[in-house]
Structure 1
Amino acid sequence: MESDIAIKQAAAWIRDAEGLLITAGAGMGVDSGLPDFRGTEGFWRAYPALRHHGFSFEDIANPAGFASHPRLSWGFYGHRLALYRATVPHAGFSILRRWASTMKHGAFVFTSNVDGQFQKAGFDAERIVECHGTIHRLQCVEACTDATWPADDFTPVVDETTCLLQNVMPRCPHCGGLARPNILMFGDWQWVERNVDRQERRLAAWLRSVERPLVIELGAGRAVPTVRRFSEQHDFRFIRVNPRDYSVSPAVGVGIAGGALETLQRLVDVVDGSL
């Protein structure tokens, strides 16, 4: 009953909104078949070869690895790059796009995901903030320049039994040193954030133009709370969708227990008035 009330309230807000601010964490990609790294066991299920090395997600998602074990680091990120390129975004992305197409100011996305799935699903790349960067762009390991460049020309070949990159590692075109993904890693002091700064300026301008924005947060957990904090910092109507951590103060929004895709499918029935 409580969930039904939240769904009806959320649907009414969606129909009334002039702009949709979509904030998304890792849970948004799970329904597309992407791995959930929540907890060490979940990470090792996705990358069993790294159990043998004794690496946690925090260990391998770390810029220090590109100096100490570059082929293993690039094996991990190369595998993810190939996986994200092959992944088809789930139907929930299309639902969000359709809602936004009926709104005066459309949609803007703020996501901690580095997978590029919103762009692949047809969202305007100029209206996406990737607050932790993207795997689809590269930068110099030593940050010899604040330039980044597309990873399009790099096709990783990874031995999945060892998680080691088999082909030539990408190099920085400016200094010739090793390149790495333009992703904010753990303990990362050399992440090049120029792209994100530019994205955030565009988002700030968009928010100033929207009179009745609605925030819909999908699959953002507490472990890395960047998205949750961003969602909560605005005085806007706010919908939080999460299988576990869905609670939100009634003074600011509604919380709905569920995965991203299943909840969006429930919502679309009510928004379209079929229920």
Structure 2
Amino acid sequence: MIKKIAEIIKDCDYLLITTGAGMGVDSGLPDFRGKDGFWRAYPAAKKLGLSFEELANPYWFEEDPYLAWAFYGHRLNLYRKTKPHEGFLKLLEIAKSKKDYFVFTSNVDGQFQKAGFSDKKIEEVHGSIHYLQCTKPCCEDIWSAENVEICIDNENFRAKEPLPRCIHCGEIARPNILMFDDWNWVDIRHEAQRKSFETFLDKSYKSLVILEFGAGIAVPTVRLMGERIAENFNAKLIRVNPRDHNVPFNAISLPLGAKEMILKVYSAIKN
């Protein structure tokens, strides 16, 4: 199967890479799979009886911003210090060998950019933790979180002062991420990314392969996008997932982790 996939990728002109949280597992990042998986990553949330869906909600930035920023501050710190695994680098080399490539991801961690993928060739459908916005919001502006440092009282799972503030009105700031039950997400950056994605699709319809990594079924945004494009563009969909690897007719399923699959395919392409 690896040789077959390698040939399919070698023969295509355009490559669409779609990913969910499973893409970063080999870098040591949690995928928050199920309530138990989330609670293993955040024992404090288990004590509070909060699931990922309940905690990843803009409600907490109003009700308890110190708790909200403990959760998102920990994630920001984690993503900053995490090094993308080798599979990212090999995948980038494969992508650069094509006429063009694009990344569609539900991840907010910025790992593709850190690995060297062009920021202009990525759609982060749920936003990015590396940008901030006003919680109100007072305007349609977002700004970099580069100089923001979040210190956390891990024992009580509380962020310490100073909390990030809106650079325009002084209200509490929040990550520029689409959360659950979120009506205040400023999507100006995402809209620009979406237009770039549409431009890519306009030119790739004749020879496109879709590589999907670690996209689960709980929030199936990535899976549904890939399946829809595969059907509309008559493109080959290759789904890589150690667990949720069921595929629609005429797609290819590979029950492996992202890093293992990429390294095997890279070796097969080179040989």
Where 1:77 maps in the other structure, the secondary structure is helix
- The residue that corresponds to 2:24 in the other structure is 29
Identity fraction in percent:
49
Q: 1:220-256 CA deviation, whole Å, 9 max, x = no partner?
A: 00001000011111131111000111122342x2110
**Structure 2 CA distance for aligned equivalents of residues 249 and 128 of structure 1:** 25
Letter in 1 for 2:238: I
Mapping for residues 114-193 of structure 1, pairs under 5 Å: 114-193=108-187
CA offset at residue 40 of structure 1?
Answer: 1.2
**Structure 2 CA distance for aligned equivalents of residues 166 and 176 of structure 1:** 17
1:16 aligns with 2:11: yes
Mapping for residues 159-238 of structure 1, pairs under 5 Å: 159-210=153-204, 211-234=206-229, 235=233, 236-238=235-237
- The residue that corresponds to 2:263 in the other structure is 265
Give TM-score scaled by structure 2 length.
0.95
Q: Over the residues paired in the alignment, what is the CA RMSD in angstroms?
A: 1.1
Q: 1:175-217 CA deviation, whole Å, 9 max, x = no partner?
A: 2111000001111011111111110101111121223121100
CA offset at residue 139 of structure 1?
Answer: 0.6
- The residue that corresponds to 2:58 in the other structure is 63
**Structure 1 CA distance for aligned equivalents of residues 41 and 106 of structure 2:** 19
2:92 to 97, 119, 129: 97
**Structure 2 CA distance for aligned equivalents of residues 183 and 145 of structure 1:** 16
Letter in 2 for 1:242: N
1:243 aligns with 2:238: no
**Structure 2 CA distance for aligned equivalents of residues 155 and 213 of structure 1:** 41
Where 1:22 maps in the other structure, the secondary structure is strand
CA offset at residue 111 of structure 1?
Answer: 0.2
- The residue that corresponds to 2:40 in the other structure is 45
Letter in 2 for 1:198: A
Where 2:133 maps in the other structure, the secondary structure is strand
Letter in 2 for 1:241: V
Where 1:182 maps in the other structure, the secondary structure is strand
Where 2:132 maps in the other structure, the secondary structure is strand
Name stretches of at least 5 consecutive residues in structure 2 with no aligned partner. none
CA offset at residue 269 of structure 1?
Answer: 2.1
Letter in 2 for 1:97: L
Letter in 1 for 2:159: L
CA offset at residue 162 of structure 1?
Answer: 1.8
Where 2:219 maps in the other structure, the secondary structure is coil
**Structure 2 CA distance for aligned equivalents of residues 214 and 237 of structure 1:** 5
**Structure 2 CA distance for aligned equivalents of residues 154 and 216 of structure 1:** 34
Letter in 2 for 1:61: A
**Structure 1 CA distance for aligned equivalents of residues 248 and 265 of structure 2:** 20
- The residue that corresponds to 1:113 in the other structure is 107
Q: How many residues align?
A: 266
Name stretches of at least 5 consecutive residues in structure 1 with no aligned partner. none
**Structure 1 CA distance for aligned equivalents of residues 12 and 209 of structure 2:** 6
1:80 aligns with 2:79: no
CA offset at residue 81 of structure 1?
Answer: 0.2
Name segments (4+ residues, structure 1) moved above 2 Å: none
